[in-house]
Each structure stands twice: as C-alpha cells, then as structure tokens.
Structure 1
Amino acid sequence: MEERLEPREGIITYEDIVTNIVRRLNIADFSVIDRMTISEYSLLMAGARMRILDELENIHLLAFKMQVAKNTKKVGDKVVPAFDKFTDFFDRKLIETGVSSKAMDVSEEEKDIYKLMSKT
C-alpha cells in the first residue's frame, strides 16, 4: 500500500484514514478509531504534521551544530563559520508558510513533507 498523509486527487478512503491514524497517531484501538469524528481526525493529523516539522527542526539543529563545529569559510584573512545563524541553515517560518527553504539539500521525502506542511 502506498504511504501518504494526504489524499490524492481529493479522495480519501476509510482505509486511508485508518492507516493514517494507526501510523501517524499510534492509535490501534478500532473502537476509538470508529468513534473519531472528522474534526478530531483533522486536528490530530495537523498535530502529527507539526510533530514531523518539530522532528525535522531538531534533526537540522543537530546538523547545524555539527556544521558550525567543523565547517568554515575564509573571509579575507579570517576563517569563520559557514553559517552565521541557525536560520541561514533551517528556516522554520519559510517551511510553515510553504516557501522552500534556502538552498537546503533535502531528500524527496522531506520536500513532500514540506509541501504537506504548507497545506495546513
């Protein structure tokens, strides 16, 4: 089965919803799933997307700290860090507003996640 957070072509099936709930929300109790309203599902999935963004931010923060520790560039006679501040490396606001981040090397999966994040 294809993995996705959002429906394709505007169609979402009961199976898609249950799969998302089990995978993203870690809820496997079908009595809870069957009682869940569309509003509850939408809010919980929005929270799941924000959690993914939080995790991406933490991963990039760790990578940024590692880059700062070892990545430098020469400016005149000085050797300085390649990134002056964290937002030069990962700009959460750009991602939240749906604008691609500044020349970051990201995987196709991350690009898909960024696109999904902009739909909330």
Structure 2
Amino acid sequence: MQERSEATDDHAGSREEVEETFNEFYERVAMTCFRYLGFKNLDQVDNITPYEYRLLMKSKELEMVDEEYKIHLQAYLNMSAQAKKRAGKKVKPVYTTFNKFYNYQKSLDRVMGIKKKSKFDGLAQFIKEQKKEG
C-alpha cells in the first residue's frame, strides 16, 4: 500500500495537508459513481475515463441544481396559491380557481407552438396593408 505524503500549503501558513493515496482516490471515485451515477459494479468504474467522470459529475451537479430549483419553485407556488387579498373588510383568496392560478392549456399551447389569435391580429394585418398601399 502506498504511504501518504505530507505537503505544507503556502496559502494556509503552517497548516499541513495530507495527499490522498491512489487507493483512497479510487475508493472516493467509486463511491461517487455508485452514489450519484447509478453504477452497479467496479467494472463500470474501471471503464470510465477521467474526462467522462468529470463530465458525468458536472451533469449530476446540474441535475441537482435543477432539482433545487423545482423544490424552491414548488415552495413559492404553495405560497402564491395561498395568497389572500383584502376586499373591504373581508379577506379573499387571490386565486379562486386552479385555472386562474395555472393555465394548463396555455402552457401546452406554448410548448406545441400554437398561437392563440389575438383580438389585435386583424388590426395588425390592416396596418400592414395600409403601409403597402400608402
């Protein structure tokens, strides 16, 4: 087994750092692969390149940030859904129906590229025609 080597860190003054042995580094990489990347055996760990490992780990970190975003968005939406407003002496919910809070069909249409006709579409067309004529 390899011995640990000690090095003094110039930035930390007299604090000493202990370098990892290859075996310790390999174990740390293997545990990370098992924990975060879904690897099931050491053959998978042995067949990954350092570049692939860094890329997969960066992707995992981004996935975790996305998950944090979803959690915070959910908390915000919970707070928004429970929002109240004053109506005279009474306090009423801001959103009286789910559809007023979140328009599912509008979101589907946006993703599918379906544009809803605006009442101003005809006006825009009229103005374009007037510019061509004038």
TM-score norm. by structure 1 comes to 0.49
Q: Could you say which structure has the larger radius of gyration? A: 2
TM-score norm. by structure 2 comes to 0.44
